[in-house]
Amino acid sequence: MTDARWASLSDEELLSAIAKRDDAAFRELYERHAGWLILRMSRRFADQTVVDEVVQDTFLAVWRGAGRYAGRGEVAAWIWGIGIRRLVDRLRRSPRIPRLAPVGVEPSAEDRVLVGIEHGDLAGALERLSPELRAVIQATVLDGLTTGEAGRLLGVPQGTVKTRLMRARRELREALA
């Protein structure tokens, strides 16, 4: 049950209280964000048990790292960044986990990138990108953020994200051709 005093606070204010180990603030932040995080993770990975574990790990990281939130971008984007990195780490540690798409369904290009990011030509091509271009690919393709969300997360205008994304795609196409 949500405590009314926390419901009126911003996510940033909740994180500040969480950094001071306030359980009620943590409960409020969880209630605000767990639902959409579970939904977005479920779209990326079919095994609900894994999704639930990743979401739990994500909020544990939020509890432990609330004081490290830098205030750049939205808290939701920060939580998503933590969550998607937890999912990728889980996939890397457990190669036998069922893949993103159900049997008989061809995974999307984005899903193949998420699962196979550290292998083959793609990993090398990504490593050759500048840090700015790689960050945009990370935010938009791997983390699934919109260009607006990525801009807020990276602290750059949305137009800059679009330009960098276009350049990154062009460089990746050339590198993989």
Q: What is the pLDDT of residues 3-42, one digit of tens each?
A: 677 788 899 999 999 999 999 999 999 999 999 899 888 8
* Amino acid in the structure at residue 127: E
Task: Decide: 114 and 91 in contact? Cβ < 8 Å.
Answer: yes
Domain at 117-177, CATH from 3.90.950.20, 1.10.10.10, 2.60.40.10, 3.30.70.100: 1.10.10.10
Structure confidence by residue, pLDDT tens digits, 64-118:
999 888 777 788 888 988 998 888 778 767 655 444 445 555 655 555 555 555 4
Q: How far apart are the first and last CA of the chain?
A: 54
Domain at 9-101, CATH from 1.10.520.10, 1.10.10.10, 1.10.1740.10, 3.50.7.10: 1.10.1740.10
Task: Decide: 161 and 151 in contact? Cβ < 8 Å.
Answer: yes
pLDDT of the residue at 99: 46
Based on the number of CB atoms within 10 Å of its own CB, is 76 exposed (0-12), middle (13-18) or buried (19 or more)? Answer: middle
pTM above 0.85, yes or no: no
